[in-house]
Amino acid sequence: MSQFVLDASAVLALLSREKGWEEVEQAIAMGAAISTVNVAEVVSKLSDTGMPETAIGQVLDLLGLDLDTEPLLLYQQWTVASSMGEGRTPALLRRGVSDLL
């Protein structure tokens, strides 16, 4: 089990080099984990910037996070989907977060 569990905002802070990114980088180097729900949020935010899915997958691979691979429950899928905006939910719900990586 990982000593650190990151949320989406921590990963996004690292990618944007926002305040505290160094601590996130250190936590990842020590084997930090992230839940599938938080990965879905990171994917959503990166997609909002226009980043292609393949590039998003490469970014996540480079981070090397220990992904908690528990499946998303239905209510979690709807929570993530509702945050993604109209017209963008089917791919996530149809393919699942793990297929986006």
**pLDDT tens, position by position, 44-79:** 999 999 999 899 889 988 988 876 655 656 666 666
Q: What is the pTM of this model?
A: 0.67
For residue 31, what are the contacts with CB-CB under 8 A and spacing of at least 6?
2, 3, 4, 66
Higher pLDDT, 2 or 21: 21
